[in-house]
Amino acid sequence: MNLVYSASAGTGKTYQVTQRYLDQILNEQIDPRDILLMTFTENAATELRTRISAYLHATLQLPEKANPERIRMVLTQIESAPITTIHGFCTTLLREHALDAGLSPSFSILAGEQQTEWLESIAHQQLIKQLEHDHLFAQFCEGRNLATVGTRGNSIPKTAISLIHQAGSLGIPLTDPNALLEPAIDPQNIDAFKDILEQFDHLPELTTAQTVIAQQLRELLEKSPNTETLIKKIDEIKFKPSRRVKEPAKTLANLIEESRTRIQYKIERPLALGFSRYLVAVYDQYNRLKSAQDLLDFDDLQYRAVDLIKNATHAISFNTIIIDEVQDTSRIQARLINALWKAPTQLIICGDPKQGIYSWRGADPSIMPNLQKSIIDQGGKLEHLQTSWRSKEALIEPINTIFSSILSNYNQEALKPNKAYAHAQEPHGIECLLPDSDSQPPTKKDRITQEMEALARRIQLLIHGTSDWQPNHRYQDSFQPTSEQNNYRYSDILILMRTNTELATLEQALRKEAIPYTLGGKSRGLFSTTPAHDLSLLLNTLCDPTDAFSLIGLLRSPWVGLSDQQIIRTLLPHEHSTAEQILHHFPDLESIIIQSRKHMATNLPSEIIREWIQHTHYDATLAALPQADQQIANIRKLIDWIREQERGMQTNTAKVARTLKKYVANPPQVSEALSTDPEQNAVTIMTIHSAKGLSKRVVCLPILSFQRPPDTDFAHLSESEKSPQLSIKIMSTDRSKISSPHHQQRRHEAQEVRNQESDHLFYVALTRARDLLILSSPVSTKPHANSWHSYIEPLLDQSIKIHRFSAIPHTTIDHTHLHATPSALKLFQATTAICPPKIQTQFKRTTATALTKKDSSDLPPQPNPSRSIQTTTRMGTCGHALLEEAAHHNWNINFPERISTLSHRYNLSSAEINYLSSTFSTTVEYMKIATQSAEQLLPEYPFLMQKGVHLIDGTIDLVVLTTEGIQLYDYKFSQATHSELQERYREQLHLYAEAIQRLFPTTPILSLNIIAISEKATQSVPIETDLII
């Protein structure tokens, strides 16, 4: 039977899903491989598989109650049963049916940081290209934010990336810019205005305001043959009927606004079409690069899986499909479910609409109700799970009261107290910390600081205070009386943050009270830590000799450990305009940095970092800092992250440094490492989104009073008749803002979803606690409308107990009662006493040029350059830099300006400048013709390739992507003959071709060419290799 579990928070949803699964495999004797159980996280899938296996193993010990042979067979089958995430199912399905899906079985997944980097890079490159070649797009961009990286604002590139993600969640492609953009609509006929005038005339009595409006409208209509003329005259005399006047004045005001919008949009739509072209170009280029490198992102997996299921030669079906957390599904995921759900397959869905909080990543709140209706229409059953197996009654009753007035139909799904917990009575289950009404600081920052300090004191009272500050019962295998044997610890406490905006203030307050904490979940923790900043300073200094800021930071960091006074005392008597001059004043550090820079050519970044840790005893320094155990764990996780980066074929130390610098400035959602504290006794800080599905004995929720952010998006994507439609706001040349006909409606719909999701987020936060919920707000009265503070205000000093900040005392901690856990220093001393095994280096890192360099004695002599300038290394380097820059700008470059700048950097002679001047324009024209069919130019393309015992590090001068395949070019400023160049560089270019073949496995290599640049001419020298198709 088809079944819906509508499961409120903490009501045993996972238990019900597990039992339903076990009933099918044991009682109905369905093969586990014929039951598809899908959920939304790897952790949830692992938990479900573990619970099922544990139950089977436990049942096996009771042969009188079960069939041992059946259980043993099921245990064998369960290992290959599809208990997985939706993405995991799609990946397995596509690999098993790769040929039918038109894919290579060895395709890889593009996700996380790599996907973000790709999209940002493509959006940035396409932005430059479109601004140069599309004047309407350039005009659309005037006055708008063009930043590609960062987390704030609604820039052009960030909006394009967001819309591409939305299209993926909807399962619809972005192809035709004109069809994608919302069409212009003619305004209503002028008869619509005449109808409104008739409504005025038919009123039995008009107010003064109505009389004035009717008279003005009558006069305007007499002078206007059509709507366009009417709107123009309305604007000329600034006729604005008030919506506060009785009808039909409001209808008239709406009609005027609608007509004006339609007329203006029809005129300005070509500007919006420029953005639509940019969006489609980014989307198209992103898909081309994925295809070339045999990659699929998560949206591709789902889209391809749906297509495969619908068109497969052999039906792909299951006896039963079970979907957990169905309220988090997107449109494309719903299509996947419906494609699999064909009679006689049973569908069982489980979820809670009140916990739908992921619309920002594509979840559609309408999907669960729609699936529920389909199941019931087909004779299925709806079962509400309401009895709480998580929380005390003292929490449940206030929570029900709060949400009965916020969420529609809540009373049908309200939580019910568990009779098994009836003994765990508390006078209050929820507290709220508020400032004294007469002592609120004037600034928001000070108010937040005051609130966080009060919360930190309250936490200490829970751990070390008297029984007055502790609940009567603590959860421990059901609820047991609080006592010395069942007392509260820091690890019992979870602090939930709506956003991470005030995280630094919270951390400072916790450190002030000496409260250990860790940042859990998908927070921005790891790249915001001290080790991340220190590693970034080190790598920046090594890779960029001109970066004085990073050098000063390195001097102040634990790597060197100089105080500001020492740095000033050393530098003040001297002139130091550059980073190199600063470094000269610290000779010991300078020698280490010079040595490390030499090692960058042969050693991996992680090896260099380990050398610095060993030389400077950096980890010992961390061991003496606050949160020492956590920070040591973080440095290890960061080194593991760097090692992961080193596996890429295009990774070198400079790229790792750039990536780390970007992540420190704009941290991605990567959690801190697990603490090395053996008892893990620390408060956990998480965002509410990350905490979904978790529970803790005590949950703290600060900053209840906040103002909901307005919608600042200038573009919205929706689905209309299975096609995407882009609604947009345009900034015209006179700086006025013009919207497409349905933009305001789409904006209102998006805002409604955000408001609903904010209420759901509050519900998720309040239902994480078992024993006690501690709320806090920086204001005592007049909270922002629709803030969470306003929701709880009617219950304050009733079912929610108030603690004023001033009434929360500091705690005197009795250290004799603290657990004797080893300190970080003792742990460090113990670990350093163990001699680690010697690392055996198996690979030798070298450059492609060094590996393929020919002995000059084996080659023909160079011709005597008596009549021409001898090409030098610095001139060749400068020429390469000029050509790289030209390729980045599609061969358009101001050569005199750039050669003037670069000649000083490379210290070129006048003869060398003249040589480059005489050859450059010819070379650029030659390359422009040679690459005219290119879809993308990739200058200075780096790679890292393993070949035997060698890790080959190289950079290809130019990679050209075309619709037919790939062309490779290598520039040589040389007077040598073609045959000499072919002999000298054949092996080097063969390595380039091999690296590109590994990077783009599905794209053929069309040609390998040396571009020979001499005074006589610029010519292409082909290199033959069996890798060319």
Per-residue pLDDT tens over the stretch 92-151: 999 999 989 999 988 999 998 889 889 999 999 999 999 999 999 999 998 888 887 765
For residue 248, cis peptide bond before it (omega within 30 degrees of 0): yes
| pLDDT higher than threshold 90 for residue 156 | yes
Instruction: Kindly report, residue by residue over 237-287, the tens digit of the pLDDT.
Output: 999 998 888 889 999 999 999 999 999 999 999 999 999 999 999 999 999
- Amino acid 867: pLDDT: 42
Give dist(CA 571, CA 621) in Å, integer.
25
Strands (E), 635-703: 683-687, 696-701
User: Of the ranges 108-122, 393-407, 585-599, which is most confident?
Assistant: 393-407
Q: Are 943 and 1010 contained in the same domain?
A: yes
Residue 300 has what pLDDT? 96
Residue 820's pLDDT is what?
A: 46
480 and 601 together in one domain: no
Phi-psi category of residue 627: left, alpha or beta, with phi > 0 → left and psi -120 to 50 → alpha? left
> Are 103 and 117 contained in the same domain?
no
Is 775 in the same domain as 886? no
Task: Select from 258, 293, 328 the last residue of a domain.
Answer: 293
Q: Is residue 314 part of a domain?
A: yes
**Residue range 946-964: average pLDDT?**
84
CB-based contact 18:394 (threshold 8 Å): no
Measured from the Cβ of residue 429, the count of other Cβ atoms closer than 10 Å reads 25
Q: How confident is the model at residue 877 (pLDDT cuts 50, 70, 90)?
A: confident
Q: Residue 728's beta-bridge partner residues? A: 715
Rounded mean pLDDT, 334-352? 94
Residue 611 covered by a domain: yes
According to the model, what pLDDT value does residue 834 have? 54
Q: Are residues 35 and 74 in the same domain?
A: yes
496 DSSP assignment: E
pLDDT at position 267? 92
| HSE-CB for 775 with a 13 A CA cutoff | 31
Inform me whether the pLDDT recorded for 1008 exceeds 60: yes
Most confident of 217-221, 778-782, 863-867, 1003-1007: 217-221
What is residue 866's predicted lDDT score, i.e. its pLDDT? Answer: 39
Helix (H) or strand (E) holding 1005: strand 1005-1013
Nearest to 738 by CA among 280, 226, 267: 267
CA 146 centroid distance within chain: 19
Given 665, 698, 732, which residue is the final one in a domain?
665
Tell me the pLDDT band of 459, cut-offs 50, 70 and 90.
very high
Alpha helices per DSSP H over 202-330? 208-222, 227-236, 249-292, 298-311
What pLDDT is stored for residue 733 in this prediction?
67
Non-local CB neighbours of 217 within 8 Å, separated by 6+ positions: 193, 196, 197, 200, 239, 241, 252
Residue 391 lies in a domain: no
Out of 24-33, 510-519, 730-739, 1013-1022, which region has the weakest mean confidence (pLDDT)? Answer: 730-739
136 close to 241: Cβ distance less than 8 angstroms: no
606 and 646 co-located in one domain: yes
Chain segment 822-840, per-residue pLDDT in tens: 555 555 555 555 555 444 4
Written as one letter, the residue type at 120 is E
Distance CA 1009, CA 1019 (A): 10
pLDDT at res. 888: 85
Contact 751, 420 (CB under 8 A): no
Query: Residue 603 gets which letter from DSSP?
Result: S
| 65: Cβ contacts below 8 Å, ≥ 6 apart | 59
Tell which residue, 21, 19, 5, has the closest CA to residue 319: 21
d(CA 14, CA 51): 9
Q: What share of the chain is helix, strand, coil (3-state, %, to 5)?
A: 50, 15, 35
Same domain, residue pair 989 and 947: yes
Percent of the chain with pLDDT over 70: 92
Per-residue pLDDT, averaged over 561-572, amounts to: 87
Domain count, the chain: 5
Residues 803 and 685 in one domain: yes
- Token pair for 1023: 């290199």
The pLDDT score that the predictor gives to residue 868 is 47
Tell me the residue length of the chain. Answer: 1029
What are the pLDDT digits (tens) for 892-930? Answer: 888 888 888 888 777 888 888 888 888 888 999 999 999
Spatial CA neighbour of 960 closest among 890, 1014, 896, 1019: 890
Residue 624 has pLDDT above 80, yes or no: no
Q: What is the mean pLDDT of residues 801-816?
A: 83
Question: Higher model confidence: residue 605 or residue 828?
Answer: 605
Structural domain that includes position 312: 3-107+298-385
For the segment 529-555, what is each residue's pLDDT rounded down to a tens digit?
Answer: 889 999 999 999 999 998 999 999 999
SS3 764: helix
Q: 988 with 889, same domain?
A: yes
Give dist(CA 107, CA 91) in Å, integer.
9
3-class secondary structure, 481: strand
Q: Do 46 and 52 form a contact (C-beta atoms < 8 A)?
A: no
DSSP 573: T
Burial class (CB in 10 A: 0-12, 13-18, 19+), 51: middle
> In which band, very low, low, confident or very high, does the pLDDT at 843 lie, cut at 50, 70 and 90?
low
Is the domain of 898 the same as that of 916?
yes
Q: Which residues, in sequence order, are CB contacts of 133 under 8 Å at separation 6+? A: none
pLDDT at 396: 97
What are the CA-CA distances from residue 651 to residues 5, 213, 658, 999 (Å)? Answer: 48, 70, 11, 12
Could you tell me which residue, 913 or 440, shows the higher pLDDT?
913
Domain CATH code at residue 869: 3.90.320.10
The SS3 call for residue 359 is: helix
CA angle 861, 863, 869 (to 5 degrees): 130
Tell me which of 904 and 499 has the higher pLDDT: 499
Among 250, 266, 293, the domain boundary falls at 293
Given this model, what pLDDT does residue 243 score?
84
What b/e sequence results for 832-866 when a residue is b if at least 16 CB atoms lie within 10 Å of its CB, and e otherwise?
eeeeeeeeeeeeebbebeebbeeeeeeeeeeeeee
Kind and range of the H or E run holding 113? helix 112-133
Within a domain: residue 396? no
Q: Is there a domain that residue 53 lies in?
A: yes
User: Is a pLDDT exceeding 50 seen at residue 313?
Assistant: yes
Residue 963 lies in a domain: yes
Cβ–Cβ contacts within 10 Å for residue 276, how many?
24
Residues 796 and 938 grouped into a single domain: no
Q: List, in order, residues 6 or more apart from 320 with CB less than 8 Å away.
A: 24, 30, 34, 35, 36, 345, 346, 347, 348
Residue type, 1: M
Per-chain mean pLDDT for the chain? 88
Q: Are residues 327 and 467 in the same domain?
A: no
Cβ atoms of 265 and 184 closer than 8 Å: yes
CATH number of the domain at 495, please.
3.40.50.300
Look at residue 848 in the predicted model and tell me its pLDDT: 74
Please give the Cα distance from 786 to 783 (Å, whole number): 9
The answer to whether 1015 and 920 are in contact (CB under 8 A) is: no
- At which residue do the structure tokens 């006896």 appear? 319
| DSSP strands (E only) in 591-689 | 683-687
Q: Give the domain CATH number at 567.
A: 1.10.486.10
Q: How far apart are CA 56 and CA 78, in angstroms?
A: 10
- Phi then psi dihedrals of residue 481, to 5 deg: -60, 140
Does residue 827 belong to any structural domain of this protein? no
Q: Domain for residue 821, yes or no? A: no
Encoded tokens for 471: 């609940």
- d(CA 868, CA 865) in angstroms, rounded, equals 5
Of 313, 278, 242, whose CA–CA distance to 163 is shortest? 278
pLDDT over 50 at 818, yes or no: no
Q: Which residue has the higher pLDDT, 813 or 1006?
A: 1006
Distance, in Å, from the CA atom of 614 to the CA atom of 606, rounded to the nearest integer, reads: 12
The model's pTM is 0.80
pLDDT at 839: 45
